[in-house]
Structure 1
Amino acid sequence: MTIETFQEEVRAYAKFIGIDKIGFASAAPFVELKARLIRQQELSYQSGFEEPDLEKRTTPKLLQPDAQSIISIALAYPSRMKDAPQGKKGARRGIFARASWGDDYHHVLREKLAMLEMFIVEHYPGAVLTSMVDTGELSDRAVAERAGIGWSAKNTSIITPEFGSYVYLGEMITNISFRPDTPIEDQCGDCTLCLDVCPTGAIVEGGQLNAQRCIAFLTQTKSYLPDEFRVKIGNRIYGCDTCQTVCPKNKGVDFHLHPEFEPDPEKVKPLLQPLLKINNRAFKEQFGQMSGSWRGKKPIQRNAILAIAHFKEIEAVDDLIEIMQNDPREVIRGTAAWAIGKIGTDAGRVALEEAMKKEQDPTVIEEIRKGLGVQLMK
């Protein structure tokens, strides 16, 4: 059997096991990507979640010495949910970004890649394979772009002709010399909608993202959210979809091909107030299977507090006061203090003044001052 024939069999098997797109790319170094990453570091635009070694990120042979090709795969996920619950006064809701709907995509894609590995090894016993999803050294998007899965858009997402940008990506380095697929020509044209509507101006220019300003990144941090972003987070408690939802290439795109990715409306649009006091066990039971839980409950709770402040949810003030007084985590106490001031009730003002007399942590004291300042400006 020729490599060309085997490559078509790999494509067919990928489709059989539910991989929505597959492409093949050369394992040559990603020279242009390396230059962009160096520039990102110089500008301090990286998130800090990335692999720090740029050589490993851009040189596949450092990860697999005999690498010849990279197989890129994509799975489509839904953009809409049925029976989405609506928040209302006294029962406000947060929102998880679409990429966290359903089961953790890392597990689903790794399972698909493992099945593909078994097929390849069975038919090509000398195959050497190295698979990764998201947390690997390589850039999923750079591989997908080279493999013809889609083009790298101005919002830095990969946009596929079939599924828009609503796809998860993974890849497999191999010593098999597959024929590379042809990259897809950029189809963004003159459109700048994603740049124009980004809530924080994180998309600096087409194809360049300042992750330090991106809400998708900020919602995953564990420290205090910088002041300028607190009023821009809205009710997002994990991730941000704005640059995807406004994209013309995503208009009308909504695929429900994988039951694992179907959203549970009560989980992806949870009530905010119960999140304030949720314990670790309950958090794991409710959200543990979602990719948005990977940083634990602290960022989700901090974001829920900010969302409650966004809604000026008076009904939550008593809970916020209790958190400000008793929570052992200074970031949560301090964020609650800021939110109390933002909501602006008389009971909240009294509680802030009392907390100022008792609080010992300097960061929390500063947040109480901010809360009282918001109160005084009303």
Structure 2
Amino acid sequence: MDFHQFKEEVIAYSKEIGIDKIGFASVDVFGELKARLKRQQSLGYQSGFEKGSVDERSEPTRLLPEAQSIISIALAYPSKMNDAPKSKKGDRRGIFARASWGRDYHDVLRDKLNQLGSFLKERFPEVELKSMVDTGELSDRAVAERAGIGFSGKNCAIITPEFGSYVYLGEMVTNIPFEPDEPVDDSCGDCNICVDTCPTDALIQGGQLNAQRCIAFLTQTKGFLEEEYRTKIGNRLYGCDTCQTVCPKNKKKDFHNHEEFEPDPEIAKPRLIPLLSISNREFKEKFGPISGSWRGKKPIQRNAILALAHYRDETAISELIRLMEQDPRPVIRGTAAYGLGKIGTRECYEAIESAKANEHEEDVLFEMDKGLKFQEV
């Protein structure tokens, strides 16, 4: 078989099915990645969401012993929302990060990879393949970098010449010996804006991220958010875009190539107070189709409370009191008490004092005391 010609056919087909960019990489060990992963592990900088061992994440043949090449794909997503509603006094809204706008990208990219896999199978019946999107063992970014999709920026995102870093990535390990593409030259240069602007100093230096400090990670945790980060997340409900929005390479990058990724403004930028009383069923129906719902409603509600506290929204007081007094989840009760304290009216402090008499969870009582301490400021 003429694999050079086959590669051209695959590229042409990828365009037919709406893949914005495609590249091909070797299956050599990702030596630099392996060393970096070990270093991150030793420093405690990993998020804990990673799949597989360091060897599985850096050696493609451990995942597919017959592997001879990796196909990397990228789909662009929008950076701007049409008709975005305003967050205003008395009607405050939260925000989901751009990477969670529209339909869950995992599903969309898996569909593209499945179509690509069927195409390969049709022309090369003996094909063996393994596809991954985000939650697989391989690093999507390391594969994309090697495949020439883009370079790895100081913000740890893949930056493409065409779409900036506003791209979703996926890959397919195959036993087809496709010729690898050339990597793209790194062009961050002396720019250090993303590192300097990171709200929590999660970017230790260009290309090194402490995921434990990253707001994108913190908004997905389920416990009490450490106090040092509570003032940093603002009105973010899921994810963080700061290191992308400040990047000069993303200036004027806004692509609306896929209807699936178009945001519903009422989902991507929802009202905060209604989130506090949303049922599991309502949450699943409204937010289930987006990637930002994968951890369930509890982290979103906790973040919504902190956003209301950030705004010092007095219209939320009665709802926060209800949560503090009645919600069965300690994290929500305690965060509501903290939020009331930050809003800081007499009604808030009296409600916290009253609720303390009926609270038995030490963590919640601790948060109530934190809330009451705002009186001293």
| TM-score bracket relative to the smaller structure | over 0.9
How far residue 375 of structure 1 moved from its aligned partner, in angstroms, is 2.1
Q: After superposition, give the CA deviation of every residue in 1:77-109 in whole Å (9 maximum; x if it has no partner).
A: 000011000011111000000000000000000
Residue in 2 aligned with 1:314? Answer: 314
Q: After superposition, give the CA deviation of every residue in 1:317-361 in whole Å (9 maximum; x if it has no partner).
A: 110011000000000000000000000011110011111221100
Q: Secondary structure at the match of 1:358?
A: coil
Q: After superposition, give the CA deviation of every residue in 1:263-310 in whole Å (9 maximum; x if it has no partner).
A: 001110000000011000110111010000000000000000000000
Structure 2 residue 110 is the aligned partner of structure 1 residue 110 = yes
How far residue 376 of structure 1 moved from its aligned partner, in angstroms, is 2.5
- Counterparts of 1:149 and 1:184, CA distance in 2: 7
Counterpart of 1:321, as a letter, is I
Q: Secondary structure at the match of 2:357?
A: helix
Q: Secondary structure at the match of 1:126?
A: coil
Counterpart of 2:45, as a letter, is Y
How far residue 24 of structure 1 moved from its aligned partner, in angstroms, is 0.2
Counterpart of 2:87, as a letter, is G
Residue in 2 aligned with 1:302? Answer: 302
Q: 1:236-275, aligned counterparts within 5 Å?
A: 236-275=236-275
Counterpart of 2:132, as a letter, is M
Residue in 1 aligned with 2:79? Answer: 79
Counterpart of 1:35, as a letter, is A
Residue in 2 aligned with 1:21? Answer: 21
| Uncovered stretches (5+) of structure 1, i.e. residues with no partner | none
How far residue 374 of structure 1 moved from its aligned partner, in angstroms, is 1.1
Structure 2 residue 359 is the aligned partner of structure 1 residue 359 = yes
- Counterparts of 2:113 and 2:357, CA distance in 1: 57
How far residue 126 of structure 1 moved from its aligned partner, in angstroms, is 1.1
Of stretches 52-61 and 340-349 in structure 1, the one that deviates more from structure 2 is 52-61
Counterpart of 1:342, as a letter, is K
- Counterparts of 1:233 and 1:74, CA distance in 2: 28
Structure 2 residue 322 is the aligned partner of structure 1 residue 327 = no
Q: 4+ runs of 1 displaced by more than 4 Å?
A: none
- Counterparts of 1:127 and 1:187, CA distance in 2: 36
Q: After superposition, give the CA deviation of every residue in 1:38-71 in whole Å (9 maximum; x if it has no partner).
A: 0001110000000241111011111000111000
Residue in 1 aligned with 2:337? Answer: 337
Counterpart of 1:53, as a letter, is S
Q: Secondary structure at the match of 2:149?
A: coil
Q: Name the count of aligned residue pairs.
A: 377
- Counterparts of 1:67 and 1:224, CA distance in 2: 44
Q: Secondary structure at the match of 1:277?
A: coil
Residue in 1 aligned with 2:224? Answer: 224
Counterpart of 1:24, as a letter, is F
Q: After superposition, give the CA deviation of every residue in 1:124-155 in whole Å (9 maximum; x if it has no partner).
A: 11110110100000000000000000000000
Residue in 1 aligned with 2:173? Answer: 173
Q: 1:1-80, aligned counterparts within 5 Å?
A: 1-80=1-80
Counterpart of 1:253, as a letter, is K
Aligned identity (percent) is: 67
TM-score (norm 2): 0.99
Counterpart of 1:332, as a letter, is I
Residue in 2 aligned with 1:123? Answer: 123
- Counterparts of 2:369 and 2:359, CA distance in 1: 11
Q: Secondary structure at the match of 2:178?
A: coil
- Counterparts of 2:28 and 2:66, CA distance in 1: 11
RMSD of aligned residue pairs (Cα, Å): 0.6
Structure 2 residue 201 is the aligned partner of structure 1 residue 204 = no
Counterpart of 1:275, as a letter, is L
- Counterparts of 1:29 and 1:8, CA distance in 2: 25
